[in-house]
Homo-oligomer: A and B are copies of this chain.
Amino acid sequence: MDHPTAHRYEQLADLITGMIEKGTLAPGERLPSLRAVCEQHRISLSTALQAYRLLEQRGVLIARPQSGFYVNAAHATSFALPSASRGRSKPSTVSIGGAVAHLLEYASNTSLVPLGCAVPDAALLQAAKLDRTLSRLARTQGGDANIYSAPRGERSLRQALAQRAMRVGHALSADDILITCGCTEALALALSAVAQRGDAVAIESPTYFGLLHTLEALGLKAFEMPTSPTAGIDVAALSRLLDAETISACVLSSSFNNPLGSTMPEANKRALLDVLQAHDVPLIEDDTYGELHFGRERPRPFIALDGGANTLYCSSFSKSIAPGYRVGWIAGGRHMARVIERKLAFSLCGAVLPQRALAEFLATGAYDTHLRRVRRIFQDNLARMTRAVEASFPVDTKASRPEGGFVLWLELSRKIDTRALFDAALEHGICFAPGDVFSASRRFRHCLRLSAGYSWTPQIESGVHTLGRLAREMSSD
């Protein structure tokens, strides 16, 4: 279990949310009184109140003075899910650099409402404890650490990561792991280990634009696969593609992919692994968001299902605790020798002290405590953002329902060009990510991604409302 000490009030909140989703509690229906809940679940009044208040914050319940708590009718009539994307029969030569650079220029501009950049805010992450560990190690172990680490990276961190892998049922040794400069380098090493310039890979659509950027730099073509906002990549379509085309790798997110937030059911994951195995095509999985799950269970990555037979696993600490440290990792399985060679050739090894600080942070259990806190914040942020979107965007807007991570994907009417919306939003001091940067063939021009990685503020809420108003205006033009 990943968070065995989850608070009772969170457990109750999850239970109530489940009842609403299943229709056991109807929109507008009054909830049992706090006293009744206390007796039923054998909990204290304050715990029950905490659960109700949490759901009120998330917009699931509304409180009526002198009356009690009710299922929020607005919540129940939430926007439809975005459509599953369709596949493209031809591979795309990737040329995304310019569009991404244009976005990044604004995404890091701190004077804008920060809905553009999928990196959590330092104020939300509160990594002071990790920084104090780094501070102490720099003072006490600086001399000892002023060396080139082994190519794989610091053993203490690799051991801590191997122990965490055990929790999802995957047996790894420290030597099966190589530390990288974030997940970007992990993906670049994985791709360059299994694919050559001119080769094609299969990817989710929409997908993280950073991956498209890496594909472009390595000269790789992309088959964009149909992808569902709930169940992820379409396994049957992938199977048909592999029957027809030569593919060097399939690259996808393990869970809560960016930007869709979709989560493949484990049966689909197994089916996908079977399909790849049958065609001897390696899987490169990006599990950056795996630890940011809202449900009780951490979804298992592919590598835990196939034992690493044909999977290159990539992840990082950038979204969960330390974007400033640039520490990621890769478990390259049978491709590990080539991964190590590429690491030596591209960047030799990583900085020693940040790795040791993270190793210690993990070993003390501080990382687990930290993750419980940020998961709750991201979940709340996404609930508030969803409510703000529903209150302001056109009624035909479709919105993703991520069960982890901190990004929201919106599909607008095809009349709306989100590049034009982007320019209009900039004039109002608001940044977001327009949909076309998530596709090698520049699809999704009527879609956009909002990031909920910042502490929720009235300024952010009002930014979403303004964006919704701009979209409504464009919609009615």
Contacts and interface: CB of A to CB of B under 8 A. Distances in A.
A205 to B, nearest CB: 19
A135 B139 contact: yes
Q: Is the interface of A mostly helix, strand, loop or mixed?
A: helix
B119 A143 contact: no
A131 B148 contact: no
A342 B217 contact: yes
B347 A185 contact: yes
A171 to B, nearest CB: 26
Interface in A123-138: 123, 125-128, 130-132, 134-136, 138
Contact of A134 (B108, B138, B323, B348): B138
Given A346-B188, A347-B181, A144 B132 contact: no
B104 A324 contact: no
B131 A144 contact: no
A128 to B, nearest CB: 6
B139 A132 contact: yes
A147 interface: yes
A84 B104 CA distance: 49
A218 interface: yes
Interface string A336-351: 0000111011111111
Contacts of A145: 122, 324
A28 interface: no
Contacts of A350: 181, 326
A214 to B, nearest CB: 5
A307 interface: no
A322 interface: yes
A465 B55 CA distance: 76
A182 interface: yes
A116 interface: no
A122 B143 contact: yes
A148 B121 CA distance: 10
A170 interface: no
Contact of A148 (B101, B119, B150, B340): B119
A59 B152 CA distance: 41
Given A127-B142, A347-B347, A148 B324 contact: yes
Contact of A217 (B181, B216, B345): B345
Contacts of A108: 148, 150
A184 interface: yes
Nearest to A110: B147
A353 interface: yes
Contacts of A122: 143-147
A214 B345 contact: yes
A387 interface: no
Contacts of A342: 217
Contacts of A324: 142, 145-149, 351-353
A471 to B, nearest CB: 28
A354 interface: yes
A346 B347 CA distance: 10
A197 interface: yes
A192 interface: yes
A326 B351 contact: yes
Nearest to A143: B122
Contacts of A151: 104
A108 B143 CA distance: 16
A326 B219 CA distance: 27
B344 A100 contact: yes
Given A97-B344, A147-B323, 10 more contacts: A101-B340, A104-B344, A131-B142, A134-B134, A185-B346, A185-B348, A216-B345, A217-B341, A325-B351, A326-B350
24 contacts: A101-B344, A104-B151, A122-B146, A122-B147, A123-B143, A127-B142, A130-B142, A131-B146, A134-B353, A135-B138, A142-B324, A146-B325, A147-B324, A148-B324, A149-B324, A184-B346, A197-B219, A213-B345, A217-B342, A326-B350, A327-B351, A346-B346, A353-B354, A354-B354
Interface of A: 97, 100-101, 104, 108, 119, 122-123, 125-128, 130-132, 134-136, 138-139, 142-151, 180-182, 184-185, 188, 192, 196-197, 210, 213-214, 216-219, 318, 322-327, 340-342, 344-354
- Interface pairs A-B: 3 shortest CB-CB: A131-B142, A217-B345, A135-B138
